[in-house]
Chains A and B, each alone.
Chain A
Amino acid sequence: MKQLYIARSSAVASRVLDGEIVIMSATDSTLFSLSEVATVIWQAADGHTPLSEIVRGRICAEFDVAPDAAYRDAEAFIDDLARHGILRVSSEPIDGIEPGVSASRLGAARPA
């Protein structure tokens, strides 16, 4: 099977809030709210870990899902994000990606 590598684009703004990642494309301002599974893929999109390894090592390990079905879903997901310029996809490892999103504002308290 041909390997796919995925990397987070630098042309996005993202934020973790209550465990969910919200992403906005800087190129077309499309807003995405990622599911738990999609969040795992996004966070693992370091440009060097093959998608198959992300699915096997992260998705199948953390969620009750068959490898084949998980891989098909992951491909559909990355296709969608790639179309909006949010993920970069390549058959070769990708260098120069943004660091992962910060969760430092997670659950920020609202002042009285």
Chain B
Amino acid sequence: MGVLSSTSLLDRLPAEYARGGVTLEIGGIPIFLRSGDAEFCRMIEDRYAGFVNPFASAEYEFEIDLNPPSEPSDEDARVSKHGDVWFFDRGDFHAEWDARTRRGWVRQAPNPYAIDTVLRIVHSLVLAEEGGFLLHAASAVRSGQSFVFTGISGAGKTTMSRLAPADVAVLTDEISYIRRRADGYRAYGTPFAGELARVGENISAPFGGLYFLEKGPANRIEPIDDRRAARALLRNILFFSHDERLVKRVFDSAFEFVSNVATGRLIFTPDERAWRLVG
């Protein structure tokens, strides 16, 4: 039997895999989704292709209970906290998560939309604690650095992603993932896709710059002061909780971030020449 036989691979998989489930590693944070429903697990593996890591040691774990199929909800998710336990609710799911034990459960319909929202909420809470955040923004890696492009809807996030030249790796066209590490900020790829419906590359890079997108007649980068940058950033941070302590934490993180990274207004014509100014 060869060393790469399926038996030897299975031997090396974490024990929880034998009990059924998928480990998704987004932003370097592995979360095990436990489910005995093989079809649901396959759907998750397909949906999050590139972010499945069966060999990662899970930092968080969710038990998934599947309801009968139902339509995805277009409500906003409600997030609340009682003691150490977070509650996430929407028409198509209910989830509880104990931040202390790092375990939770989700009751949801067997579609990827509910778990996608749960994952966004959990990552936003985990990042908030460490000074990072999820941001409505496209991001990409060029020449070993990550660049993030944020702005109001229609400002050009999808356009910048679509126009990325061959030497650029797109991390996301929709939700950027910013972590504060010991050596500085770092942007990570995410599977949270927007209009391009394309999962980002599962890579990360040290932070190179934050650009506030505006469409204009000529490509140029203009400075933006920290006050305006922080205000614009706060409007685009994806945060679901009204927990007083964490809201304050995110608020402070936004100011901390803009005072420590390069920022600018990227005014661009919607063509690939804008990328000549980046990286």
Chain B residue total in the interface (Cβ 8 A): 19
B41 within 8 A of A: no
Among A10, A13, A110, point to the contact of B260 (Cβ < 8 A): A110
B71 within 8 A of A: no
| A-facing residues in B24-79 (Cβ within 8 Å) | none
Q: Interface-forming stretch among A26-34, A38-46, A54-62, A70-78? A: A26-34
How far in angstroms is the closest Cβ of chain A from B129?
15
Among B227, B248, B252, point to the contact of A20 (Cβ < 8 A): B227
Give the docked Cα–Cα distance between A108 and B242 (Å). 28
Give the docked Cα–Cα distance between A18 and B259 (Å). 13
Contacts of A22 in B (CB 8 A): 227, 230-231, 234
Tally the A-B contacts, defined by beta carbons under 8 Å. Answer: 49
Contact A26 B259 (CB under 8 A): no
Whether A33 touches B231, Cβ cut-off 8 Å, given contacts A105-B255, A105-B259, A108-B259, is yes
How far in angstroms is the closest Cβ of chain A from B74?
20
Give the docked Cα–Cα distance between A105 and B251 (Å). 13
Chain A residue total in the interface (Cβ 8 A): 20
What is the interface of chain B, defined by CB distance below 8 A to chain A? 225-227, 230-231, 234-235, 239, 242-244, 247-248, 251-252, 255, 259-260, 262
The 10 nearest A-B residue pairs measured at CB: A13-B251, A26-B247, A13-B248, A17-B227, A26-B244, A108-B259, A24-B251, A18-B227, A11-B244, A15-B255
What is the interface of chain A, defined by CB distance below 8 A to chain B? 10-11, 13, 15, 17-18, 20, 22, 24, 26-29, 31, 33, 105, 108-111
